[in-house]
């Protein structure tokens, strides 16, 4: 019988061949197999050293790197790299300290050292982008302190989960506030800007729900669309869609789509979208102010799309949001599309469980399993038609209709 290590190595070889052919999800599979290999080979002393020395130290050094613009300097230097003295002068970090910090980043494969100079890598050059610099700041300054206080907080609460959506959760306990997460972000700049960048970076490089191989848009939305359509027919309503990223990319990927596309969000958000459009420019969608805790005003659309909306709320609020959609649905025609994480109980992914921990830390809410999604949809009078997933993408696309 093959050992677990042999099985993992065989899987790595197969995933490697798929990666060479640019197979979907092969890169993520290789990363996960690498973690599995470490899990099989690592002994407890090495686990403690990596988890509680090496990785926390790396996070702290990367946060320093943001302040000192270290990755930007390495990126600008290109193939020549920078010796310790020059890099120290550019960053303002004492040369002796800099050398110690950089050696650790070399060990963690974030940068390299050769020919007497430090060199950026593809990864560190990517981290030089503003959205990732902001993401590092948000995760280190806001999120990490919450995780550090998990043991104390849950010991204090008898290891019980916080009430869903409560304002006395781990976030409030750590940051000493009675405010909800988003209210606190607004009141403590620049955290809101950093969080917005973090959310933009979170999905970067991943397939969108409407791309080929994910959700079959032509088959499930366009085929069967009202024929002939009227001027008032709506193909897609993005409920709580923020500044319109999803509907903009949907329209770009499906330029010949029939019907209207509508973006909905709160009035201040929509006002910002319209203001940023600029004179003489047109949006690829209509923008409409709407609170999803009130009845849906657009009736009989082909699809109502909600991206990572319900995971921000407890079950009762989630049911209310869905119940406000139900009267607008046309039986046998309208669909509800939820772009959400569906937690696997047997093989959860790092992307899914880490987001679940983020939701626990910041909002006192949770990601849901398939059974939990079916339950919340059922309470609102909906049924799951099918759940679509894409290799390497944390979120699935849940298609539902009137029960």
Torsion, CA 55, CA 56, CA 58, CA 61, rounded to 10: 180
Q: Which residue has the tokens 């940051």?
A: 175
Catalytic residues: 311
């Amino acid at each position: 019988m093959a050992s677990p290590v042999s099985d993992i190595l065989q899987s790595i070889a197969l995933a490697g061949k798929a990666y060479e052919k640019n197979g979907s999800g092969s890169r993520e599979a290789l990363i996960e197999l690498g973690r599995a290999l470490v899990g099989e080979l690592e002994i407890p002393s090495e686990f403690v050293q990596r988890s509680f020395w090496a990785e926390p130290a790396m996070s702290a050094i990367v946060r320093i790197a943001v302040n000192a613009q270290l990755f930007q300097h390495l990126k600008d230097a290109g193939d020549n790299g920078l010796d310790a003295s020059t890099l120290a002068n550019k960053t303002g970090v004492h040369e002796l300290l800099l050398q110690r910090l950089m050696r650790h980043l070399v060990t963690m494969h974030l940068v390299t050292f050769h020919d007497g100079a430090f060199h950026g890598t593809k990864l560190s050059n990517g981290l030089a982008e503003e959205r990732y610099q902001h993401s590092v700041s948000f995760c280190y300054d806001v999120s990490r302190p919450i995780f550090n206080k998990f043991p104390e907080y849950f010991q204090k609460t008898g290891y019980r989960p916080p009430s869903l959506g409560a304002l006395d959760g781990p976030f409030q306990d750590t940051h000493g506030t009675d405010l909800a997460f988003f209210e606190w972000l607004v009141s403590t700049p620049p955290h809101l800007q950093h969080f917005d960048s973090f959310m933009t970076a979170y999905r970067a490089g991943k397939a969108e729900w409407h791309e080929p191989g994910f959700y079959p848009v032509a088959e499930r939305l366009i085929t069967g669309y009202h024929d002939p359509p009227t001027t008032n027919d709506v193909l897609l309503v993005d409920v709580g869609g923020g500044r319109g990223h999803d509907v903009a990319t949907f329209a770009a990927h499906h330029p010949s789509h029939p019907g209207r596309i509508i973006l909905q969000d709160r009035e201040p958000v929509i006002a910002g979208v319209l203001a940023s459009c600029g004179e003489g420019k047109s949006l690829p969608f209509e923008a409409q102010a709407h609170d999803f805790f009130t009845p849906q005003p657009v009736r009989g659309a082909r699809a109502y799309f909600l991206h990572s909306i319900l995971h921000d709320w407890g079950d009762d609020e989630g049911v209310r949001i869905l119940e406000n959609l139900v009267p607008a649905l046309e039986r046998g025609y309208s669909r509800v599309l939820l772009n959400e994480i569906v937690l696997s109980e047997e093989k959860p992914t790092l992307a899914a469980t880490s987001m679940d921990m983020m939701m626990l830390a910041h909002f006192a809410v949770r990601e849901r399993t398939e059974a939990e999604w079916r339950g919340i949809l059922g309470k609102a009078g909906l049924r799951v038609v099918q759940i679509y997933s894409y290799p390497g993408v944390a979120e699935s696309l849940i298609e539902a209709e009137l029960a």
